[in-house]
Amino acid sequence: CLQYNLSASDSSPCVVLKFKTCTIMLDCSLDLASLNHFLPVSLTQQQRILNLPHFPVKDEFGNTIQMMTDLIDLSTIDVILISNSNTMLALPYITEYTGFQGIVYATEPTIQIGRLLMEELVQYCHGCSTNKNVGGWKQKKYYQQLPGQGKTWNENLLSWRHCYSQDDVHNAVSKIQMVGYAEALSIFGALNVTAYSSGYALGSCNWLIGTEFEKVAYISGSSSLITPHPQPLDQQPLQGCDVLVYTGLSNAPQFNPDNTLAEFCCCLAKTVKAGGNALIPCLPSGLIYDLLECLLLYMEKSNIINIPIYLISPSAKASLALSQIYAEWLHPNKQNKAYLPETPFPHDQLIELGRLKVFSSIHDGLSYGFKKPCIVFAGHPSLRMGDAVHFVEMWGKSPLNSIIFVEPNFSHLEALAPYQPLEARAFHFPIDTRSNHKVASRMIDGLKPRRVVVPPSYMAPPVEAPHRTELKLELESPVETMERSTVRRLKVERVYEKVDLEPDVSMIVLKVNLKTGVLVAPMSALSSSRNNKHLLKPIYKRVPVSNVSRKRKYHDEITHRPMVCGNLNVDTFVEALKLEGYNDVKVESSSSGKIIMLQDTVIQIEEGSTHIVCEGNETLRVKLRDILLQSLNSH
């Protein structure tokens, strides 16, 4: 089993397994951290941003996507397994630009929410003004002048791509096949893959890959918390696997999600009570469902229900609608509401009451009836594109306003760097419900895998906090690290292979008790292999029909070639030959056994084999063979 690590970073998994003639890609994430290298793109021209002295080189904004594809020919991928909506953003690059002819599997919520995230990314990237003279900054004489880490880009510049189009998204999504939890899927008859709930997001899953004898588990972005909205984590089927590939640890392990959520709500309440506005840069799905629900409850307790909440995103309306219709993918507590009947989330009622207002962009009628102070959820979390850029420019000059970062996958310091100096207050409350190092270590040890494969950063404390020794995995099982852009051979031993028997073969099988608990069944059969499935068929021979009056003179009869065993007793064999009329028999010893000579025939008897050399007399050879077989045990 070969494992290729194509991940652009440890938080953006993309792993390829070559296992039993199948090539399987596990997730296809995009590392959007490269957005931090570019200037923010506002819906309106901001001269202050365009004249920033520390960002002198400008390029087409869409040229921001980093792809690591030189390690393997992506057209050879047979299957792509998607774990959640955040790990499928690179799918159009693979399905539309590499000659991919395989199959993509994901749950229905993952497909629909992932489609919304990709469409939003396309609108943000293609909706901004671009410079036609693109790519010049990639020349060595230019990129070496870039500040900071720009000088280290030269190794990866050629892997950067333009953002895909809406047609690419549509075509890529059309190639995905839906799968349910615990639904077994056959991959060319060689492997079975099954999705199990990971407890992280709506429709998110972990994957179990293997056969009846080998198992490889892939865990990506799992959560054992009982408070969020998805179905609980289902880890029991993953126990006892040969190899466990673990990715998707929390990006904010030092923050407790419940405590951070409480601090987030408290900070929002203080801001609006003081007459300020609050901006929360975020994605339109996933965390936003829980944020809105908890925030609305907190506002009722704090008696600030008159403060309007705005959700601004091209995918906002569709995302909220999807969260209401996928009741079977939600936590049982929310599933029960669907049968009362009630909506699982309070979004619809709040929209009807006017407390929550949803817009596709700031140009979608937002100016009519816009009230302040207010709370605005808008994208993008990187603050490099989307409507959030406009609000930072508009509200950044007042210390009464707040910018609150909750998405754990983006650095708030890098996001705010182009906007400095900034008078608005900035807060960082990263809420990541994925397992931290301690919880993940406990879960992995409970699964008892024979071997664990993780990114190297999981096995050491963060560079910025080397004293935090609790921020690393401590596992009982043997651990291997998967470095970026490397190939590793995983120790998955193929010991057994499943073979089916046709009914006629099973009827002639005679089991022999070899020893206590061990049965041996010798058989003669014809082996047939097709689509990685193996079948034993009976061997037929044509025999004459005893009733000559019948039209058919022959019929097919199952033959069984006896299996012989035991040690040949030379004296007994010689006596049997004499009884058959072979009196002139001589026996001589050799270095490897015995040699029996009679007339023009030589019989060589060695340990484990017997050779009859009779110089072309086939009738004599068959007769001697039958005498030899009668001297051995047969089944």
Tens-digit pLDDT profile for residues 73-83: 889 999 999 99
Residue 148: pLDDT over 90: no
Name residues whose C-beta falls within 8 Å of residue 298's C-beta, 6 or more positions apart in sequence: 265, 266, 268, 269
Lowest mean pLDDT among 38-47, 257-266, 282-291: 38-47
CATH class of 2-253+434-489: alpha beta
Residue 142: pLDDT over 70: no
Sequence spans of domains, the chain: 2-253+434-489, 257-428, 499-558, 570-633
Q: Which of the four CATH numbers 3.40.1130, 3.40.190, 3.30.310, 2.30.29 does domain 570-633 have?
A: 3.30.310
Tell me which of 71 and 447 has the higher pLDDT. Answer: 447
Q: b vs e for 306-334, b when ≥16 Cβ sit within 10 Å of the residue's Cβ?
A: ebbbbbbbbbbbbbbebbeebbebbbeeb
> Do 461 and 469 form a contact (C-beta atoms < 8 A)?
yes
Residue 452: pLDDT over 50: yes
List the 278-281 sheet strands across, edge first: 356-359, 309-312, 375-378, 278-281, 402-405, 425-428
Q: Determine the Cα–Cα distance for residues 628 and 597; give it in Å rounded to an integer.
A: 14
Q: Report residue 154 as tokens.
A: 């030269």
Q: Determine the Cα–Cα distance for residues 574 and 582; give it in Å rounded to an integer.
A: 9
Share the mean pLDDT of the chain.
84
Tell me which of 66 and 386 has the higher pLDDT. Answer: 386
Residue 492: pLDDT over 90: no
Q: CA dihedral defined by 546, 552, 556, 561, rounded to 10 degrees?
A: 40
DSSP track, 325-350:
H-GGGB-HHHHHHHTTT--SSSHHHH
Residue 278: pLDDT over 90: yes
Find which of 63-67, 390-394, 593-597 is predicted with most confidence, using mean pLDDT.
390-394
Q: Report residue 497 as tokens.
A: 């292979």
Residue 137: pLDDT over 70: no
Tell me which of 601 and 132 has the higher pLDDT. Answer: 601
Residue 103: pLDDT over 90: yes
Q: Report residue 348 as tokens.
A: 């619809």
Query: What residues are paired with 612 via a beta bridge?
Result: 603
Residue 399 neighbours by CB distance under 10 Å? 12
At residue 375, the pLDDT reads 95
Q: CA dihedral defined by 41, 46, 48, 50, rounded to 10 degrees?
A: 50
Residue 154: pLDDT over 60: no
Name residues whose C-beta falls within 8 Å of residue 264's C-beta, 6 or more positions apart in sequence: 291, 295, 404, 406, 429, 431
Q: Which of the four CATH numbers 3.30.499.10, 1.10.275.10, 3.40.50.10890, 3.30.590.10 does domain 257-428 have?
A: 3.40.50.10890
At residue 604, the pLDDT reads 85
Q: Which helix (H) or strand (E) holds 243?
A: strand 243-247
Give per-residue pLDDT as tens, 531-585. Answer: 778 888 888 777 777 665 555 666 666 776 666 666 777 888 888 888 888 888 8
Lowest mean pLDDT among 16-20, 267-271, 556-560: 556-560
Nearest to 307 by CA among 272, 261, 264: 272
Q: Determine the Cα–Cα distance for residues 582 and 517; give it in Å rounded to an integer.
A: 44
At residue 613, the pLDDT reads 83
